[in-house]
Structure formats: structure tokens, C-alpha cells
Amino acid sequence: MSTSPSVNPLPYSDFRSDTATAPTPDMFAAMMKSSLCDDVYNEDDSCKKLERYVATLCGHEAALFCSSGTMTNQLAHRAHLCNPPQSAVVDIRSHVFNYEAGGISFHSQAAVYPIMPANGKYLTVEDIAPRLVFDVDVHFAPTRVVSLENTLNGTIMPLEEIVRIRELTRQHDIKLHLDGARLWHASIATGISLKEYCSHFDTVSLCLSKGIGAPIGSILVGSEATIKKARHFRLLFGGGWRQAGLLAEAALWAIKNNWPTMEETHMRAKWLERVFVDIGCSITNPVDTNMIWVDTTEAGFTVEELCAELAKENIKISGSGYAARVVLHYQITNEAVQKFVDVLHRLSKTHRTNVNVDLIRAVDQVKKEKEDELLTRSTYVASKAPVAPLTPTTPTSPGYPTEEVTNRCLFEGTEEVAPVEVINLAKPEFRKPRRVVSEMIHDDSPSSQFSAHTPMNHRTEHQSMMFLDRRSQEQRDEEGSDGTTTPPLMSNLARSKSLDLQRIEIAAPLISESINSTEYKKKKLGYLMSHNPAGKALKRASNRIARWSGSLLTKEA
């Protein structure tokens, strides 16, 4: 059986992801040679062979074959993060932060500090150093792991920057992990060996089902002690598998046969990139390896229109609106790329949508300006983790914000943005004076962070006095305070604060004088009393008015 390793066994060309590769007849033939022993017992020879091969390739002591890249990433972090409280620093765009269901927090009981690279491409020492947290302040979880990804969105992280980050983490005894799902591509594109890349990391996760083309699997490399611990956690996570030798042989065959073809894949990606640019599309990320991130706005057609035309040629891509991601792999042939190019040329000439590019850009610019304005107008400046090395801080009084948190930007309500004036609310001249307790007991205004709160014992005593006073007044109302029908004082009645009681109280003298005058007023009084939702208040009010007005009101009620 002699088939080309780049043959596509599927009836379509899938540009959505490099996970879309399917096993070939040659790969199936290799799988037939696998051992059929139990990998949970660590007895499968095919799995052992794959693990030794990849560990040697990466320059590490041992390796562990697992079912997915998510599992190998999580096992690495769990092996490093064993003593809470602890934290990990990651790229905010990384797979381990966005697409692994919050696994670091769940499995490793660790806080996660995501960072957006200042250069928009990859993390640097300048990005990471200020976010490291050291074990000197009990308020923060110390950084135990820094997690990188190479490649990320198809962009290669320079080896020089990896070396600088390694020196930083080594100085502070912090572990360094690499999600190298597509590190195979970086090695082919740069000519730097996997051993050179992996030598700077404590653990590296390498995916076998993406560009390599195995049907399933990922492998974790590290020291003997780390891999032994990870093997234990793999079983704990439910990741132990029995006759995994079939998949190990498929992965080993793919490494030896498909890995060398990645250079051709990169050339095809560059070919497609040039065509996208020629027809007016924008490339939003550097095309270093096998991924093309495209913005079709200036070309005048949407991704949905592109997908519809490509579907006629049995080609699939992913995206929506004006943004698309095109991913190539070893089963994308030159013929498939040529069909893609033909569709792009045809679409750019005959199926263009009438798009006002300037208007789209203007709208996007306005949206960006509004977002920036909202961020700038935010009440407080976002707090940061302690800067390395941590310096002693000056404690502030309780209830007073720190100087960093209380810097606020004030804007004038004019059409043009006024110059920003920064006011430090922590300074004494901007603090609201404290008030004594006696001034606050009868003050209904809400307390603020700049005013002293009423002590609990004063509040309790005050409420108790009010309650006893109210109860005694209610008893006097029921029995008659002086044995006569004299109406109670307004101030005493107001203490009960019953619903609509003040309205009844104010109207009572008028009702008492004219209750026999007209039938209309009798009906109005009855309506007012019958629609009072406070039952107890209604009963008390009825008793009072009965005493004031004589027996007539009682008969009418």
C-alpha cells in the first residue's frame, strides 16, 4: 500500500482547523502493528516507545501520552500548583485561559492573572515582571507558574524572548510551562530544534492531532518527578486508557511522516495570504506558519458570501461578518488552494457587495473612541497586582481609599474633551469631614465611605427607645390617654408611621365638624377607610375617629 502522506481521504477540503485531518491508509497500516497491552498498568510497549521518542526529541527526561491538549496542559499546571494559595500568569488570548473551561482554577485551586501583550503579538518580560506576585503579602496569591503559548494564533514567539522570561522565572523559583500544541510549526518555520525550544521550560505540552495529523492525542514532557506526578493526576482526572498503543503508533507515524511536510503547508499559507492582500483584504495577524486571519471589509464582501462560493468547490472555512480564519494542514493540496484562489478572484470581481469602506471605518473609529472614553471616565483606576520586587507600602486609615485607587479623572461637559485634571481624593483637603454619632442618629442620609458609621450599641438603644415609646402611645390611643375623647396629639400619632395615617389624622378635625352635614362626606370617609391597606392602622384610626366624632361614625361603619 503506497499512498502519498498528503492525500486527503475526505470528500471536501477543510480550511477551518488543522484538527480536521483524517487518518490515511498508511497510518492505519502502522496502527495494525501496535501492541495491545494496558497503558494504565504502564505495560503498553507502543505507548512507551512514543513517550521515549518525544522525550528525547524535546531533550527532557520523560513524557506522558494523553488524550487531549487540554488534559496535558491541566496536568502540567496541577503538577506545579500543589500548595494553595497560588496563582498562574497567562496570556489573555491563550488556549489554557479561554478554551479549557477554567481548568486551572478548578483543578489546581489557583488564581489566574491574564495579561494582554503590549506588542499585540507575544508576551515579553516587560509584560510579565510587573504582574508577578511574591510571597510577602498575605493578601495576594503568590505566582507559582508562568504559562506561555507558541505558536499563538499562528504567530511565533521569538526564542530570545523565551530565554529572557526563563531567566526571570528562574530568579524567583517560578515554574515555566509551554502550551506547544503547534510548536512543531514554529520549529519548522524557524529551523530551531524542539530540543532548543523545550530546554527553557519545566513542562511542554505538544498536540498530536493538529498539524501532526494523528487522530487523537497529546503528549506532555518534563522531568521524571513531574511526569510521575502527572501520571498519578491523569488517573485522578479519569484520563487513564487501556489499549492506547493503537493511537500511539498512529501518532508516531504522523511525527515521522507528516511533520517534515509543514514547510510546504507554510508556503501554501503564504500563497493564500498574497491573494487575499491582492484583492483588498487585510491580514490582521502575521502569517508565520499555517494560519491566516483575514478582514474582508475593504474587499467588499462578507465571509458568508465567501463561504457560499467556497461551498460550491467543496471547501470549508470558519468566520462571520468580515472576519475569517483560514487554517492549512498537510491534507490541503495545491489543487485545493488553487480552487480557493479562483473563488477569491471571482468573488472580488463579480460578487462584491456595495460596501462603504470609509463609513465602516468611521463607525469602528467612533465605537473605539467611545470605548476608550468610557474606560477613561471610569470611577476608579484598575488595581494591579504587587509589582516585583514588592516594596513596603504606607498603610492608610480604614475607610479611606489608597492613593492609587482614588485617582479620578474629571471631564467638563463640553463638546471637546477638556484637559484631564487628576484629583487625589486621599489628600486631606479633599476628604469629607467626619460627623459625630449624635449628628447621625436622626440623619436619614445614607452613610458614605468618608463618614463614620453609627456604632451598633447606639443604634440598638435608639431603636429600642422608639419601639417602647410607640407601644405606650398605641396603648394610650386604645384606652384614651386621659379618659376622655380628646384626640391624641399630632406628634404622638405620627410616631406610629402607619400607612395613610397622616392623611386620616389631618382630615379628622374637619370630618368631626361636618360629618352630619352631607351624605357625600360620609361616603368619602367610608371609601378612605375601606381602601386603606394597613389593617391594623385602619382599626386604630377607626377607634380614634369614633371617640372624636361620637356614636354616628360607629353606626355608619
Are 336 and 413 found together in one domain?
A: no
- Say how far apart CA 57 and CA 165 lie, in whole Å: 23
3-state secondary structure of 423: strand
Same domain, 366 and 509: no
Nearest-angstrom CA–CA distance, 132 and 123: 13
Query: 15 and 219 in contact (C-beta within 8 Å)?
Result: no
Helices (H), 377-440: 437-440
Q: Within the chain, how many helices (H) and strands (E) appear?
A: 22, 15
Q: Domain for residue 454, yes or no? A: no
Number of domains in the chain: 4
From 387, 452, 412, 310, select the one nearest 133 (Cα to Cα).
387
**Residue that finishes a domain, picked among 217, 236, 257:** 257
Sequence-separated (6 or more) residues with CB below 8 Å from residue 405:
380, 381, 383
Contact 164, 121 (CB under 8 A): no
- From CA 340, how far away is CA 80, in angstroms rounded? 45
Cα(368)–Cα(374) distance, integer angstroms: 10
Q: What are the average pLDDT values for consecutive 10-residue runs of the chain, which has 557 residues?
A: 57 92 94 92 94 98 97 98 96 97 96 96 96 93 97 96 97 97 97 97 97 95 97 95 95 96 96 95 94 93 94 94 95 95 90 55 71 59 44 40 40 42 43 44 42 48 62 55 45 44 59 56 60 57 64 50
Is 20 domain-assigned? no
pLDDT of residue 348: 86
Q: State the Cα angle at 49 between 46 and 54, rounded to 5°.
A: 130
Residue 506: which domain range?
Answer: 480-556
Q: Which residues contact 529 (CB under 8 A, 6 or more apart)?
A: 504, 538, 541, 542, 557
Whether the Cβ atoms of residue 179 and residue 96 lie closer than 8 Å to each other: yes
Contacts 24+ apart (CB under 8 A), 360-369: 360/297, 361/297
Q: Are residues 70 and 120 in the same domain?
A: yes
Report pLDDT for 494. Answer: 43
Distance in angstroms (rounded) separating the CA atoms of residues 268 and 272? 6
Looking at residue 81, which CATH number applies to its domain?
3.40.640.10
Separation between Cα atoms, residue 343 and residue 312, nearest integer Å: 9
Residue 411 has a pLDDT of 39
Task: Assess if residue 417 is contained within a domain.
Answer: yes
Same domain, 54 and 200: yes
Asked, for residue 274, whether it belongs to a domain, the answer is yes
* 374 and 286 co-located in one domain: no
Chosen domain end from 233, 257, 281: 257
Q: In terms of domains, do 127 and 208 share one? A: yes
- So what's the pLDDT on residue 349? 83
pLDDT score at 523: 63
**Cα–Cα distance measured from residue 329 to residue 318, given in angstroms and rounded to the nearest whole number:** 15
Radius of gyration of the chain (CA): 37
Residue 381 lies in a domain: yes
User: Among 545, 552, 553, 557, which Cα is nearest to 488's?
Assistant: 545
Please indicate, yes or no, if residue 285 is contained in any of the structural domains: yes
User: Same domain, yes or no, for 521 and 536?
Assistant: yes
Do 54 and 173 belong to one domain? yes
Please give the backbone phi and psi of residue 248, each rounded to the nearest 5 degrees, phi first.
-65, -40
Please indicate, yes or no, whether residues 307 and 224 belong to a single structural domain of this protein: no
Is residue 120 located within the same domain as residue 171?
A: yes
From CA 234, how far away is CA 228, in angstroms rounded? 10
- Let me know how long the chain is: 557
Assigned domain for 106 exists:
yes
Is there a single domain that holds both residue 181 and residue 294?
no
**Is residue 2 in some structural domain?**
no
Q: What is the pLDDT of residue 531?
A: 57
Between CA 209 and CA 69 the distance in angstroms is 9
∠ CA 93-94-95, rounded to 5°: 125
Q: Grid cell 506547544 — which residue?
A: 180
Domain boundary among 257, 290, 311: 257
233 and 245, same domain (yes or no): yes
Hey, which bits of 121-270 come out as E strands?
Answer: 143-149, 175-179, 203-207, 218-222
CATH number, position 336: 3.90.1150.10
